Amino acid sequence: MRLKMMLAYALLLVSAPVFAQGKLNVMATIEDLASIAREVGGDRIAIESIAKGYQDPHFVEAKPSFILKLQKADLLIAIGRELEIGWLPPLIQQSRNGKIQPGAEAYLDASAQARILDIPQGQITRAMGDVHPLGNPHYWLDPENGKTVAREIAGKLTQLRPNDKAYFDQRLADFVNRVSEGEKRWLAMMAPYKGVKVVTYHRSFPNFADRFGLDVIGYVEPRPGIPPSPGHTLDLIQEMKRQQIKIILMEPYFDQKTPDSIASQTGAQVLVMPPSVGGEKTITDYFKLFDYDINLLVNALKRIGAKPAGND
């Protein structure tokens, strides 16, 4: 009798993981990836991001706590295109987690199938500023890329947990449908302003501008990652006056002093437009990011009486 009980107990221990798998422990480099992964993974994953939405994702302090979290990660999702080049590689290396090393099974470069803009041609030097040789890494600001990233995440989660494929597929389909519906609404709101010219601080918005019909004619930074200089600022003011540019878009983590000065001399409005989930406290997911940014932009365009390019 005792032998039978011991055998039954041993069988229970062996079979337990099949019926009671814990959640996959997922780490994402930025909040936008975490939001998309949360939509796809549902209650089958525990997800956290390293960079917060109010931080410049190019410059993140490599805290020891991040190393500990990466040590326990079952999956790491990165933006790629060298956005995290300054801080992620040492964190991964020091985590000593073989599963999440680049190229390993549990490392996902979310940019692999995304539509990437601004891929530089020819020789790249440091004199050009923080140019990304593999293209602009802010691709998540196109909802179509958001759907592509979701498909990549679903595929990777299924690879790690094949038994949950139907669950991930259902959540993916629901997410894609909701993004498509949201995109119709956002495009309709922006349609009256197609071709409107704007200036941005950093090159964070090429995918957003391309999708929603904005024409970015200049930048507050003279080169990516280089602070504005007096000479460049004067040239930009003159160009904005010439083209009657009335909107300056800037990210929340840059100093607003120069954009405000430019605005005061051109009659433009400075819009602090978060490029990431969490960049403003009400932006709690990927859908709210576009709701917030599109509403902010449309309301400003209405105030200034903006007209599409060619309809003066």
Q: Where is average pLDDT lowest: 74-83, 131-140, 162-171, 274-283?
A: 131-140
Average pLDDT over residues 182-195: 98
Cα separation of 235 and 220, whole Å? Answer: 10
- Partnered with residue 248 across adjacent β-strands are 199, 270
Crossing angle for the helix pair 257-266 and 230-243, nearest 10 degrees? 40
Which 3 state secondary structure label does DSSP give 4?
helix
How far, in Å, CA of 303 to CA of 110, rounded? 37
CA angle 31, 281, 172 (to 5 degrees): 40
Q: Are strands 197-200 and 247-250 parallel, antiparallel or unpaired?
A: parallel
**Whole-Å CA distances, 49 to 20, 26, 41, 196, 205:** 26, 9, 14, 34, 21
Mean pLDDT of 75-96: 97
Average pLDDT over residues 55-67: 95
At 200, the pLDDT band (50, 70, 90 cuts) reads very high
pLDDT band for position 306 (50/70/90)?
A: confident
3-class DSSP string for 155-216:
HHHHHHCHHHHHHHHHHHHHHHHHHHHHHHHHHHHHHHHCCCEEEECCCCCHHHHHHHCCEE
CA distance 107 to 122: 30
For the stretch 281-292, pLDDT in tens is 999 999 999 999
> What 8-state DSSP symbol labels residue 105?
T
Ordered by start, the domain boundaries in the chain are 13-184, 190-303
CA distances from 32 to 27, 37, 104 (A): 12, 9, 22
Residue whose token pair is 């038994």: 163
Q: Yes or no: is domain 190-303 CATH 3.40.50.1980? A: yes
- Confidence (pLDDT) at 12: 44
pLDDT reported for residue 150: 99
What percentage of the chain carries pLDDT values higher than 70?
88
Mean pLDDT score, 60-71: 95
pLDDT for 15 equals: 41
Question: Average pLDDT of 211-217?
Answer: 98
Low-confidence winner among 120-124, 159-163, 304-308 (lowest mean pLDDT): 120-124
* pLDDT score for 10: 42
Average pLDDT, rounded, for the chain: 91
Q: How far apart are CA 115 and CA 135, in angstroms?
A: 10
User: Fold match between 13-184 and 190-303?
Assistant: yes
pLDDT at 144 over 90: yes
193 φ/ψ angles, rounded to the nearest 5 degrees: -115, 20
CATH top-level class of 13-184: alpha beta
